[in-house]
Structure formats: C-alpha cells, structure tokens
Amino acid sequence: MSLKYALFTGCVAKGAGRELMTATELVCRKLGIELVEMTDAACCGAGVISEDNEMVADIINARTFALAEERGLDIMNICITCQGVHRKCQVKLSSNPDYMSRVNAALKEQTGREYKGTVKIRHFGKILLEDYGLDKLRQAVTKPLSNINAGAFYGCYALRPHEYSDLENPDDPDEMERIIEALGAKPVKYPERLKCCGFPILMMNKRNSMALSGNAIKSAKDAGSDCVITQCPLCHLNMDAYQPEIDPDLNMPIVHIQQLIGLALGMSHDDLKMNTHIVRPTGAVASI
C-alpha cells in the first residue's frame, strides 16, 4: 500500500526553518512516502491565537482538517507545536458535539466547508512508527550512524497534557529513541529530555527562555550526547539560534529528526541544509 499524506508544513518550515522542509521532502521521497503540501491551510495558531480568541483558533483549525478530508488524506505534521494544537482542537471538537456544531456553522458560513471528524492527525515520527515501520526504516539505512550518541528532545506539545499526546507513555516515552536506534545511532536519555525549551516565552522573558534551553542542552551534553534531536522547529530555533547567546562554549549541534534520518539514508550535510544551522555540525556529527 502506498503511503500518501496531506502535509501541514506550519509557518516555521516555510520561514526560519526551511531546512526542515527540505529534509522532510528528501526523506519522504527516498522512503516512498508521498506528500501533498496543503498550501491553502492556515497557521495552527500555536496556542497564541487562542490566547486572544479560542473559538477563532478552533474554526481556523477545523478548516484545515476539512481541507485534508476533502483531499481524502490524513494529515502529517512536521512541527510538534502544530501537532499538539491540532490534536487539542480535534479532541475538544469530538468530545463536545454542541461546540463542534457551532464551530462548523461558523466555518460553513465563511467558507462553505465542513469538518466531518474523520481525518487522522499525526506527527511525522508517529507516522514513521505506525504506518511505515521501523523494520523497513532499518532496511533503508545505507549509512548506519554507529558513531553518534543522539539525545532526543521531545517538546512539550508531544507530551502534555496527556490527553492530547499520542505517545504510549508520555511520562517516559521512547518513540524518538526507537527511531534513533533504527538508524544505528545510540540514543542518550538525559534528565531534561522532557522539559520545555522555553520558546513560547522568548519575547516575554528572554532570560528564562534561554535558561530553559540552556539547561536542556547542558543536560544532554553531560549525558554524553553528540547532538540534540528535535521534532519541533521551535525547540530547534531556541536551542540553535540562541545557543551563542546562552553559552558560546556549548557547541551542541541541534538536528531535526528528519535530518538525522536523511544522514542515515546517505544524504549529505549540504543536501539536508545542515550548514544553515547557527551551530555548525561538530565532532561526531560533522564526520558523517
């Protein structure tokens, strides 16, 4: 069965994190996963539009779900924040039929569309585990990353609150580690791997924001990790773009999980645009 998804890119993969878009497209093409980019889907609101108006945020996301349903495809997210926001909206709508009908009435009035409640919404990593399968991924690896110690950083929206998480055990998950292992790398579980990267308060309290990402990077480093693997481009941005301000001596490469997979599939740093990162690949990561 061929795998085909409606790709919700999110804003960052089209903006400051374009390397994530490149890596996703390359990896999916190589693995034979077909993507249809949802060029007409709007920003998920990142939990910020709902600070101002919760219902508008839900209508916008219901529109996105309807667009995927119209295409007859399930949604693939490549940003954990988008994923968490989408899932929360979906759970809210399905657990409250009255609210769902009000959201749908507004959606219909403005766009003529309707969300039916059938679309499945998952992050890239979850799709890889559930639909593609780790055995197949293992077979596709041409360049096992046997020298790499890789510390996964999950991102809050993948984990909490639990009712919106699709991980089996969000208090002690191993989904990312299983992918890392399939690539031949050694997963490193470090104490701060389930913490917040601090990105949401970057504009409100930069000191605290940087303290959070700094702690996470240090924790990964102390545990012997060569790189931090992210599945959210916002975690990536905070840990990579701000790293020189946090502590210029950290020198910890921050790598999107799609890029790590790309490396194991034989792609180069240039293919995967790893050199657009603020912290250039160093040590074991540079030598792949």
Partner 1 sequence: MAQVTFRIFRFDPEKDKESRYQDYELELEPGITLLNSLNRIKSEQDSSLTYRMSCGSAICGSCAMRVNGHALLACKTQASGLVKDGVIQVDPLGNMEVLKDLVVDLEPFWKSLKQVDPWLQPDVSDNPENERLQTPEQFQRIDDATTCILCGACYSDCNVLGVDQEFLGPASLAKANRFIFDSRDAKTRDRIEFISEMNGVWDCTHCGECSTRCPTEAKPLARIMEVREAAMQAGVHNNNGARHALGFRETVGRSGRLNENYLPPRSVGFLNIPALIGLAPVGLRMFMRGKNPPIIHHSIDKADEVRKIFSKFEDYRHHPTRSSRPDDGASD
Which of 118-126, 195-203, 218-226, 264-272 is the region at the interface with partner 1 (rule: CB under 8 A)? 195-203
Instruction: Single out the residue of 107, 152, 167, 260 in contact with partner 1 (rule: CB under 8 A).
Output: 107
Query: Which 222-261 residues touch partner 1, going by CB under 8 A?
Result: 241-242, 244-245
| Shortest distance (Å) from residue 76 CB to partner 1 | 17
Can residue 8 be called a binding residue for partner 1 (CB under 8 A)? no
Can residue 262 be called a binding residue for partner 1 (CB under 8 A)? no
Which of 24-32, 116-124, 143-151, 193-201 is the region at the interface with partner 1 (rule: CB under 8 A)? 193-201
Q: Which is nearer to partner 1, 52 or 135 (CB)?
A: 52
Helix, strand, coil: what percent of the chain each, to 5?
50, 10, 35
Angle (nearest 5°) at CA 241 between 235 and 244: 120
Can residue 282 be called a binding residue for partner 1 (CB under 8 A)? no
Can residue 54 be called a binding residue for partner 1 (CB under 8 A)? yes
Residues 115, 105: contact at Cβ < 8 Å?
no
Residues 213, 242: contact at Cβ < 8 Å?
yes
Instruction: Single out the residue of 91, 118, 168, 282 in contact with partner 1 (rule: CB under 8 A).
Output: 91
Can residue 39 be called a binding residue for partner 1 (CB under 8 A)? yes
Which of 13-21, 114-122, 250-258, 259-267 is the region at the interface with partner 1 (rule: CB under 8 A)? 13-21
Backbone angles phi, psi at 103, to 5 degrees: -65, -45
Measured CA to CA in angstroms, residue 153 lies from 74, 90, 148, 227, 236 at distances of 25, 25, 15, 10, 9
| Shortest distance (Å) from residue 133 CB to partner 1 | 27
Query: Which 115-154 residues touch partner 1, going by CB under 8 A?
Result: none
Strands 121-123 and 149-153: unpaired
Instruction: Single out the residue of 28, 63, 78, 262 in contact with partner 1 (rule: CB under 8 A).
Output: 63
User: At a CB cut-off of 8 Å and minimum separation 6, what does 206 contact?
Assistant: none
Instruction: Single out the residue of 99, 134, 174, 181 in contact with partner 1 (rule: CB under 8 A).
Output: 99
Token pair in block for residue 61: 């996301």
Per DSSP, the chain holds a count of helices (H) and strands (E) of 14, 8
Query: What is the C-alpha to C-alpha distance for residues 171 and 123, in angstroms, rounded to an integer?
Result: 18
| Shortest distance (Å) from residue 282 CB to partner 1 | 15
Strand order of the β-sheet with 186-188 is 186-188, 149-153, 227-230, 254-256
Which of 33-41, 70-78, 174-182, 220-228 is the region at the interface with partner 1 (rule: CB under 8 A)? 33-41
Alpha carbon 165 to its chain's center: 13
Q: Which is nearer to partner 1, 185 or 281 (CB)?
A: 281
Instruction: Single out the residue of 134, 166, 215, 269 in contact with partner 1 (rule: CB under 8 A).
Output: 215
Q: Which of 232, 111, 255 is nearest to 180 (CA)?
A: 255
Query: Which 153-192 residues touch partner 1, going by CB under 8 A?
Result: 156-157, 159-164, 171-172
